[in-house]
């Protein structure tokens, strides 16, 4: 079994192409204007056009109007919408694409937060920050994340990099992993060597089933 990888905060074609070559399942574009990794829809569409069809695009949004989210989804050709703010279940249901719902874990949270998330959504676990919505570079509580992953299809995010992603996968058993700041030289600029090392670490955890 191979763990799907989502490389988020893409702003450059070269980074997206390398991620695809290394085996990324998803690339993430941030459309929240306050993010240092924000990208315009036309630029994201141009990057996506250079990728093979098996690589899907996720759009990241924070407390933005649903009409705007759906419009950007159509313009770019997004496969999924990641809601990373304080959106309601009604907002999730109004999205015209698959929804990935971010859960920003605080120290007080436990795995029961999974029960509060819109049931059809895929969960993405990230670290709580009172100002920043993602990209903090801080790890989540892996014990809580493992409990969440046991209940729901879950992406693990937050503080992942080549140095710890294999351990994180073993500890949490997530559906997939999401990386952004852990493979960057600066916000939105991926480091090719870090990106390669990240994928090597993820693939070291792959399990192959052999028929007998």
Between helix 41-48 and helix 13-22 the angle, nearest 10°, is 40
d(CA 155, CA 177): 5
What six digits make up the tokens of 175? 């559906």
To the query of whether residue 126 is one of the catalytic residues in this protein, the response is: yes
d(CA 73, CA 83): 13
Q: Which of 8, 91, 92, 95 is catalytic?
A: 8
d(CA 151, CA 14): 36
Please say whether the beta carbons of 69 and 38 come within 8 A.
Answer: no
Q: Which of 15, 91, 92, 126 is catalytic?
A: 126
Q: Which residues are catalytic?
A: 8, 126
């Amino acid at each position: 079994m191979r763990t799907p990888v989502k490389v988020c905060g893409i702003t450059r074609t070269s980074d997206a192409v390398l991620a695809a070559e290394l085996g990324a399942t998803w690339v993430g574009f941030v459309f929240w204007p306050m993010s240092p990794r924000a990208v315009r829809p036309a630029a994201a569409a141009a990057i996506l056009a250079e990728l093979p069809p098996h690589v899907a695009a996720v759009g990241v949004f924070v407390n933005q109007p649903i009409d705007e989210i759906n419009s950007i989804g159509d313009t770019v050709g997004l496969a999924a919408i990641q809601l990373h703010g304080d959106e309601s279940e009604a907002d999730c249901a109004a999205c015209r694409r698959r929804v990935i719902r971010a859960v920003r874990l605080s120290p007080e949270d436990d795995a029961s937060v999974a029960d509060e998330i819109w049931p059809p959504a895929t969960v993405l676990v990230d670290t709580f920050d009172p100002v920043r919505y993602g990209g903090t570079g801080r790890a989540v509580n892996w014990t809580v994340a493992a409990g969440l992953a046991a209940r729901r299809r879950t992406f693990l995010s937050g503080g992942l990099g080549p140095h710890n992603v294999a351990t994180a996968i073993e500890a949490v058993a997530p559906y997939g992993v999401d990386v952004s700041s852990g493979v960057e030289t600066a916000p939105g600029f991926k480091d090719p060597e870090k990106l390669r090392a990240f994928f090597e670490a993820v693939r070291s955890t792959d399990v192959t089933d052999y028929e007998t």
